[in-house]
Amino acid sequence: MTTATAPAPYQSYVYAYPHKTAYRQRPDRPLLSELWADEPKDALSLYLHIPFCEVRCGFCNLFTRIGAPDGLTGAYLDALERQAGAVREALGEREPVRFATAAFGGGTPTFLTAAELTRLCDIAEHRMGADLRAVPLSVEASPATATADRLAVLAERGATRLSLGVQSFDDTEARAAVRPQRRADVEAALGRVRDARIPVLNIDLIYGIDGQTEHSWLRSLDAALAWRPEELYLYPLYIRPLTGLGRRAVGADPEWDEQRLRLYRAGRDHLLAHGYEQRSMRMFRRADAPAEGADDYACQTDGMIGLGCGARSYTAGLHYSFDYAVGMHEIRHIIDDYVTRSAADFAHAAYGYPMTGDEPRRRHLLQSLLQADGLPVADYRARFGGRTPDGDFPAELARFVELGWLESGPVLRLTPEGLAHSDALGPELFSPAVRAAMAAYERK
């Protein structure tokens, strides 16, 4: 009989550890050339961040601004090119630099015009040396910006995956999530994506929207399934501070938690019945879809180069980025600062979090457990000099087992109920130091 008390199921979405609210300004401003000097560079991930959207959804707390005054996107790409040059120089020539994956995110990368997307690809290829046609290249888009000319550029330059933020095929639900769009426009965009013949289509959907029912949720899923997407991501709605919906936040809501869990399970079971495999709490891949390269957490184990003012980079000793904000005024200030930076400024790390003590082990455990395949204990031992997850985190893992969330053995793997509670389990593995830094962060 379980005696452990389960935390509420929706604490936070852990897509990277530590979260950027734990980052702090680096008074020493370390040189990137020193940070990367001893890092393996044969399987890096490259991420280019575009912080612009045509609208900002009510649930969104990503680093992005609405629209761009004349000349700002060009100035941003100028700065991105300066940063790329500085970063590529810092990586050095002593050993070959190879990128194993690439991604354009945001914001909405397809906010850029077709000509600007061409330039973005040129920066990745000619400045950074990434062969976009030879590695998986994932690009995020919105229905309104997934135009034929933009998609043609991406397809020609090697995009292998296009992720479309649909959220709901129900117009009323879309308005409730402050995602103003019409289903007819969404369907037209999906048609253009399929016409572009990008190998993998991902559709993002959200559950827990005000007024959403199990019937309307399944109807949205069926509308998505009609396009036979290779991937589907199912996201629980969060209402976060400083977002459009955040003005209505009222704290803990057990009834809403139960609604989201109910919709999650209905969606999960529906996709499993339609030939999809669950890869994480959020990600479902069609069983016959082409392999898409590294798993979600690989960028944190192989090294990550992030370009753009909202991107983060990972070395063994430091995760670093620029300042972080959610509020519109502060985001604009950070973007304006970014576009004025010199190449010399970009040769230093500005904000970051040192990966000392047990932080690398926590990160590896957390990122591995949140994948459906789990963590082979032998891999952990090999990576961390014979240490074991049970030896390093006995209390946390024992609690997960007691809650029925975790199966022990040669592979630590979440149970179906554990996957359902990923957004509670992940934060339980945060270190005290990361928790303290996140709690002390001043929202802006």
d(CA 192, CA 190): 5
For 212-252, the pLDDT digits (tens) are 999 999 999 999 999 999 999 999 998 755 444 444 455 57
Q: What angle do CA 90, 16, 312 make, to 5 degrees?
A: 25
CB 191 within 8 A of CB 141: no
Strands 231-236 and 200-207: parallel
Q: Residue 356 pLDDT > 60, yes or no?
A: yes
Q: Residue 300 pLDDT > 80, yes or no?
A: no
The single-letter code of the amino acid at 377 is V
Compute CA distances 266 → 31, 214, 261, 270, whole Å.
50, 7, 9, 6
Question: How far apart are the two ends of the chain, measured CA to CA in Å?
Answer: 45
Token duo for residue 45? 């991930």
Domains and CATH numbers, the chain: 20-286 (3.20.20.70), 359-440 (1.10.10.920)
Res. 38 pLDDT band, cuts 50 70 90: very high
The single-letter code of the amino acid at 409 is G
pLDDT computed for residue 52 by the predictor: 85
Burial of 23 (0-12, 13-18, 19+ CB in 10 A): buried
In whole numbers, what is the pLDDT of the chain averaged over residues?
91
Mean pLDDT of 108-126: 97
pLDDT computed for residue 295 by the predictor: 47
pLDDT computed for residue 432 by the predictor: 97
pLDDT computed for residue 225 by the predictor: 98
Q: Is this structure's pTM higher than 0.85? A: yes
Report which listed range, 1-10, 60-69, 77-86, is most confident.
77-86
Q: Half-sphere exposure of 437 toward its Cβ, with a 13 Å CA cutoff?
A: 17
CB 10 within 8 A of CB 238: yes
pLDDT computed for residue 246 by the predictor: 45
CB 161 within 8 A of CB 128: no
Token duo for residue 60? 């969104």
For 155-182, the pLDDT digits (tens) are 999 999 999 999 999 999 988 876 778 9
CB 320 within 8 A of CB 23: yes
Res. 326 pLDDT band, cuts 50 70 90: confident
Q: To which residue do tokens 């009989």 refer? A: 1
Mean pLDDT of 136-148: 95
